[in-house]
Structure 1
Amino acid sequence: MGRMSEESEPAGELPEYAERVLEVAELIPAGRVMTYGDVAEWLEQGGPRQVGRVMALYGGAVPWWRVVRADGALLPGHEQRALGHYREESTPLRDASRASGGHLPRLDMKRARWDGRARTEAHN
């Protein structure tokens, strides 16, 4: 699982990169998603794995279900919780019958993906 015990951050204090990732997660509008890679690109720092690690360690306090895999698959182990959020927020989903043998729907990435522009333009 890695050497998480070597983290040097004081208890209760987030690393600066983690704070930035979580801030982006909070900007994503209800019903929309960004991929791990989208978040890294938006921050111009790190990559999908780094964003995924931040979300795994610290994402529980933000709308974690809005930061997703690029293929639209639901987060393993959290599928039902995420699906509840997606349905509540009317996030576009692809029919499960069209997914390759899966029982759960996937996100419709063409319709659900958010590029961050609308929010950032409103603040400029």
Structure 2
Amino acid sequence: MSRNDHGEYTAGTTDEDILAHFSQAERPFQTAQSVAEQFDVDRSQAYRRLQQLVDEGVLEKAKVGGRAVVWWVSDEKESTGTVRDVNPDDPLFDRDTFQAGEPCDTSEKIDEVLYGNGTSRSV
């Protein structure tokens, strides 16, 4: 964090920086403390920025016990394609579903399921 010509602190982290952190971090949810550590700011400042993003509909938050709060990118934001674009016509969504413990058909290879018969792609 830096100071301007008047000695006031200026924000060096943009909303885009914060959203990029959510998409690049090892988990899709963060705490104010983890964001504060990532951007080298005070936890209360990170909390205010995260709350501002909640107010704008970009993030959502939930209290998970005691005073702990987690934040994540709003589903509404994801559905706009800003964070992640999902094709609802993808044939993967037409596949039969199953629950843990139920038998499933393992005769198809994962590439066939994901990319169609006869197509193989490297990850």
- Report if TM-score (shorter chain) is over 0.5: no
Structure with max Cα Rg? 2
TM-score between the two structures when normalised by the length of structure 1: 0.32
Larger fraction in helix: 1
